[in-house]
């Protein structure tokens, strides 16, 4: 099953409905399990939606005017929507990485390193999953694993509506405890910067590499993974 080169294919989807991307995840997981494809990182931004993990209360979505999906990941309810970078790693965990607590810590490490690139000191909260800035949560994480292939993933609040979490208890928390990167650093209005940073640190933490891009002499300025040639460090 495992690709000898441990290469990572990156799919940048832009803004897509949740149902469409969930269906894509399911297909890629099946193909990864059967060895038809290698590791893939999906980067996307969703239309507003509420997802309910396995730990959600039955009445969590009552009275909300949002599409609601009950999903296979761990964790409780959370919101996805514009201004949030969502990353879904479809990764095969080799024998030395078959520790789900380690996998969750590795996802947190990807986010912590990405925040550090814009001079934000993120942190872990003892007994909880995700990434925090001070006493507020900036990144939610919930995963599922099928035959040691991961899916679902993380959602990093970058410049979403600060009131987006009102009306629910995101990850079981008071919505006032949710924050976003834009409240702590000057960041571009689009998601590209944090897509680049997340890819960079996924490669480092999971010891993967991007495939060499095909030669395109007529179109310069495009780097590995379909990203424009940008410096990995802002500024």
pLDDT in tens, 134-151: 999 999 999 999 999 999
Rounded mean pLDDT of 213-221?
A: 62
Tens of pLDDT along 152-180?
999 999 999 988 877 676 566 677 788 99
Question: Which has the higher per-residue pLDDT, 195 or 167?
Answer: 195
**Cα 3 to Cα 170: distance, rounded to the nearest angstrom:** 36
Tell me: pLDDT of 231 over 80.
no
Residue-level pLDDT at 57: 58
State the pLDDT confidence band at 52, using cuts at 50, 70 and 90: confident
- Tokens at 196, concatenated: 């680049």
Say if domain 8-226 classifies as CATH 3.30.930.10: yes
CB-based contact 131:173 (threshold 8 Å): no
- End-to-end, the C-alpha distance of the chain in Å comes to 40
Tell me: pLDDT of 230 over 70.
no
Residue-level pLDDT at 233: 33
Closest CA to 69 of 25, 105, 128: 25
Neighbours of 67 (CB within 10 A): 15
Domain boundaries, the chain: 8-226
Sequence-distant (≥ 6) Cβ neighbours of residue 92 within 8 angstroms: 1, 2, 3, 32, 39, 148, 149
CA distances from 97 to 39, 110, 113, 161 (A): 14, 16, 20, 36
* Residues designated catalytic: 171
């Amino acid at each position: 099953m495992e690709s000898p080169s441990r290469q990572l294919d990156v799919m940048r989807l832009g803004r897509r409905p949740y149902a469409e991307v969930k269906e894509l995840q399911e297909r890629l997981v099946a193909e990864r399990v059967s060895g038809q494809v290698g590791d893939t990182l999906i980067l996307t931004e969703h239309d507003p939606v509420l997802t309910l993990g396995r730990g959600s209360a039955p009445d969590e979505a009552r009275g909300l005017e949002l599409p609601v999906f009950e999903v296979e990941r761990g964790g409780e309810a959370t919101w996805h929507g514009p201004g949030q970078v969502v990353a879904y790693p479809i990764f095969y965990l080799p024998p030395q990485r078959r520790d789900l607590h380690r996998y969750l810590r590795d996802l947190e490490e990807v986010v912590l390193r990405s925040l550090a690139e814009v001079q934000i000191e993120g942190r872990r909260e003892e007994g909880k999953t995700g990434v925090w800035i001070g006493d507020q949560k900036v990144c939610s994480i919930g995963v599922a694993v099928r035959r040691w292939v991961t899916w679902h993933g993380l959602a990093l609040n970058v410049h979403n509506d600060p009131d987006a979490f009102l009306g629910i208890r995101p990850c079981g928390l008071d919505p006032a405890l949710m924050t976003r990167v834009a409240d702590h650093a000057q960041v571009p209005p689009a998601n590209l910067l944090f897509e680049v940073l997340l890819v960079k640190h996924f490669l480092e933490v999971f010891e993967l590499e991007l495939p060499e891009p095909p030669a395109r002499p007529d179109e310069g300025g495009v780097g590995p993974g379909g990203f424009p040639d940008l410096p990995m460090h802002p500024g």
